[in-house]
Amino acid sequence: MNSGMKVPTSLVQVVVIAMLSMPLCAAAQESKPTVRHHRVEETVPDENSTPEVEQAEAAMEKKDFSTAEALLQKAVAAKPDNYRAWFDLGDVYNATNRLPEATEAYRKAVAAKPDVFESNVNLGILLARQGKNEQAAKYLKAATQLTPGANPDDSMAHAWLALGRVEESVNPQEAIAAYTEAAKFNPKNPEPHLAAASLLEKQGDLDVAGREFQMAAVLDPKSKPAVSGLADVYIKQKRYREAEAALRKLLAIDPGNSNAHIRLSHVLVEEGKTEEAALELQKGQSGSGGGPAALELGRSFMQVDKYREAEQQFRIAVTQLPKDAEAHYALGSVLMQVKQYPESQQELLLAVQLKPDLAEAYGNLAVVAAENKNYQLTLKALDARAQFLPEDSASYFLRATTFDHLKAVPQAVEYYQRFLSADAGKFPDQEWQARHRLMALDPKHADKYQSKQ
């Protein structure tokens, strides 16, 4: 502390406790530093150390906060600029969950003596807890330029870490710089690396985020947030082999982590290890209810064209989530891919009944209804789709062929023409078919259609 005076015992204790009470970033919540209490003796006379303050601090150590509060109120009434009494009073209010009163007491402590590290830190942290990040940053920045009364490295690391958290939402680069400073003061603490990694990942800087997660994992090999974060980065980078290794390490640390089993199943699908993926999914389902996990794994199988495996998972999903429109839509869609059109139609109809605004389902329903020769349903599904999505060349072609089957010649001609105008070469086989059907349905203009081949 710049005053040349060491901080009283209660100030040292409270600042450590207050800093640890600040919410951690999501990735860092499982890594908690050890709280150490230090007794620091005065080295020079302190005019703020009145008998009431000394007695109050003794009462606080015994958690007799009501007695301490009464004594401290007397002290500040007698000497309104007694920073030590105001700080201790802030401690009492904080300990008894009176946040506004604690904030005001710390403000008065800072006003009475601005160069006390602990007062600035505690005030900054309390303001941050109230969402007043701009004000919080002001006091935390001030603290980083002062000298702690005890445990200087740990205290400065906490101050920089707290500053980084309040800067994240308004100035991410300043936040990362603050986390870097925190790591300098406490190089063995994984928290600054975890906080920086999470922020960098949100910003899309995956290479640097991965290095920060890796550093955190080296410092604490059993840190679930570090290993999990590293796996997420690898997955986003499509580095599936490394992601698999990270997730297996996470499961070695936390074998009952259902989410990790499910994430690993997705990675294994990407690696083509479908049997292992199914096994991991089963392990994940045992702790997560199964339905949502099966739905997600089925989607992963769909992405790599593993339709039978996807169908198996979607059937699990609809069994366990019978009123989930997305589950029925997924099953209906994969059944369409494997040409099981009657059952596909049933599932897709269920999906739109459960969720009438599920726009994508209407397109698939129109296709399978046409395959089932249910042409009226095809047109109804296309009309429903058009309420949510613009018509495109695919919907025009499906309308045209449907009207063609229904022998509604004028409408078939109209939609074949619309298809040719909209398609612009995307579906050449269908364009060929459309032109030849137009020549048959509209022979008076056959030359016009033929000339556009």
Supply the DSSP string of 32-90, one letter for each residue: -PPP-------SS--TT--HHHHHHHHHHHTT-HHHHHHHHHHHHHH-TT-HHHHHHHH
What is the structure's pLDDT at 285? Answer: 65
What is the structure's pLDDT at 272? Answer: 87
Contact 366, 342 (CB under 8 A): no
Which residues of the chain register pLDDT less than 50?
1-45, 288, 452-453
Contact 51, 78 (CB under 8 A): no
In the structure encoding, which two tokens stand for residue 109, read together? 């402590």
Which residue reads 């807890």 in tokens?
129
Q: Distances in Å between the alpha carbon of 100 and those of 135, 355, 359?
A: 14, 47, 50
For 162, the enclosing helix (H) or strand (E) is: helix 152-167
Contact 178, 206 (CB under 8 A): no
Q: Is 272 exposed, middle or buried (0-12, 13-18, 19+ CB in 10 A)?
A: exposed
Give per-residue pLDDT as tens, 112-129. Answer: 999 999 999 999 999 999
What is the structure's pLDDT at 362? Answer: 97
Which residue reads 């986003």 in tokens?
236
CA-wise closest residue to 127 among 150, 105, 154: 105
The whole-angstrom separation of Cα 119 and Cα 234 is 42
Residue type, 191: E
Contact 87, 118 (CB under 8 A): yes
What is the structure's pLDDT at 256? Answer: 87
CA-wise closest residue to 297 among 325, 286, 289, 282: 282
CA-wise closest residue to 284 among 315, 316, 307, 311: 316
The whole-angstrom separation of Cα 46 and Cα 40 is 13
- ∠ CA 166-168-173, rounded to 5°: 125
What is the structure's pLDDT at 329? Answer: 97
The whole-angstrom separation of Cα 344 and Cα 338 is 9
What is the structure's pLDDT at 46? Answer: 61
What is the structure's pLDDT at 226? Answer: 97
pTM of the model: 0.64
Q: Distances in Å between the alpha carbon of 424 and those of 141, 416, 419, 453?
A: 61, 13, 9, 12
What is the structure's pLDDT at 27? Answer: 33
What is the structure's pLDDT at 3? Answer: 38
What is the structure's pLDDT at 380? Answer: 97
In the structure encoding, which two tokens stand for residue 285, read together? 């389902």
CA 31 from centre of chain: 18
Residue type, 375: Y
The dihedral sign for the CA sequence 257, 259, 260, 266: positive
**Any idea which fold 190-250 has?**
1.25.40
What is the structure's pLDDT at 30? Answer: 32
Which residue reads 């397109």 in tokens?
363
Give per-residue pLDDT as tens, 372-422. Answer: 999 999 999 999 999 999 999 999 999 999 999 999 999 999 999 999 999
CATH superfamily of the domain spanning 1-185? Tetratricopeptide repeat domain (1.25.40.10)
Number of residues that this document lists for the chain: 453
What is the structure's pLDDT at 47? Answer: 66
Please report how the helices 291-303 and 274-288 are oriented relative to each other, as an axis angle in degrees rounded to 10.
Answer: 160
